Every structure is written in C-alpha cells, then in structure tokens.
Structure 1
Amino acid sequence: MRILVTDDAAFMRMQLKDILTKLGHEVVGEAENGKVAIDLYKELKPDLVTMDITMPELDGVSALKEIKQVDPNATVIMCSAMGQQNMVVEAIQSGAKDFIVKPFNQERISEAIQKVA
C-alpha cells in the first residue's frame, strides 16, 4: 500500500514510517500539517493517509474534510493522543476509516490497515 504520513512531529512521522515499512508498505510522502497533506494527496494519490489530529496551520479533521471533497473515496486513518475522543468522533463522522492512539503500536497499525484495505 502507498501511504502518506501526516504529523507535525518529525519524530512521530519517522516512527510511523518505520512501522509501515516493516509491515511492507511504501511511504510515498510526509506532511507536517493539514495544508501540506492536502497538496501531497492531490499530487501523490496515495492508497492511504495517516492523519494526526492536532497540528498547526490546518488540523487533521479539517484536512480530512478537504481531502474527502477532493476524493470521496480517500482512505484516511486518524492518529490521536489520549483524551481527544471528541475529535476522533468528529473525524469518523467526517469520513475517517479508523483511528490509532499514540504512542504507536505496530500490531494496532497493522490491524487498522488490514481493516481499511
């Protein structure tokens, strides 16, 4: 699967990229905020986007909504820290396919990707 990783923390992007690569996926792009994610989505047309919820410039839920307008069939998995349940609910209602809670767990990520594949 071709995946676009979105997170404002470079460390989180690196961690997620490592896990996804180990699981046999290809990380085709990295975005540090929602605005960049939307542009990269249009350019790269990935199979899947991992989207952090809390980011500067444009948050994950707003970016998700815009990506869904560009491509209603876009597959987006939200990534959130604990205590962001209300944001997660809004993200799911806005079209996110699943969510992963940080810190990242390889098994959970694998499960989420299999679920949306």
Structure 2
Amino acid sequence: MPAKDLKIIIADDDSTTCSVLRLLLREHDYSVLGEAHDGERAVELCLLHQPDIAFLDIEMPKLSGHEAARKIKEGAPDVGIIIVSALPTLENVQKSLEAGAAGFVVKPFNAMKVMDAIGKCVRHRKTAAR
C-alpha cells in the first residue's frame, strides 16, 4: 500500500509530540485523520475512522496506551498499533505486544525510527491478513 494511502491516528497527551509526529507523517505523505490527547478519545477515533495505523503513547489520561490498544483491537482488529514511549523497558515492550501492538517507537524519535515502525506495521498487517 503506498504511503499516501495509509490513514493514521495519533494519540499522545503531549501536544508537542503530536505536532512533531503529525508534521513528520505529513512530510512523508501520510494522511493524519485525527489526534487524541487521552486513551478514551483514541479508541473513539479509531473505531469511528478505522485507520490503517494508530500511534499510541503508553502514558495517557483515562486509558493507557496498552488499554486503548486492547479496546481498539476488540472493535477494529485491522488497525495496526504502534506504541510510543519514553520508557523502553522490557515490561513495556512485552505489554505492548500482548495488547496487540505491531511496533514500538522510543521517544525522542527520529524520522527513520518512525518510518521503520510503519513499514513493520504494514508488513505485520499483510501477514496477519493471509
């Protein structure tokens, strides 16, 4: 699937992180459908828009990224989840995978790490669809 055809939701309680990620994604011709600043809103946006990928911060108000990922996967199993965190502990990575994430990006991130995570997520979705 070409980059410009991917639809993405961003969820992070830090508005600077959202802005940087949004600009980075748009620079690479990705379509950002919406942004959420808490886990509940992230779930709502994902169930409403059915994006190809959702970037979820782990630590957000109302629902953590892990909790939001589980709810998104229940209601919209085709959404690819990429967890974003400043705490790349083994426990966080394991919890992310258990919640259904196909990728994990460590803050502060750079363009290469984000693009790599998107590529892995797309490949994961194609494999899961078979």
Same fold (TM over 0.5): yes
The match for 1:8 among 10, 13, 23 is 13
Preserved CA contact (<8 Å) 2:52 2:78: no
Task: Could you list the structure 1 runs, at least 4 aligned residues long, displaced by more than 6 angstroms after superposition.
Answer: none
Distance 1:30 1:77 in 2: 14
**1:54 alignment partner in structure 2:** 59
- TM-superposition CA deviations, 1:78-97 (whole Å, max 9, x none): 00103543122111122100
Cα root mean square deviation, aligned? 1.1
Any stretches of 5+ residues in structure 1 without a counterpart?
Answer: none
**1:112 alignment partner in structure 2:** 117
> Helix, strand or coil for the counterpart of 2:69?
helix
Larger Rg: 2
Preserved CA contact (<8 Å) 1:80 1:88: no
Structure showing greater relative contact order (alpha-carbon pairs closer than 8 Å, 6 or more residues apart): 1
**1:86 alignment partner in structure 2:** 91
Point out the more displaced range, 69-78 or 79-88: 79-88
Identity of aligned residues (%): 33
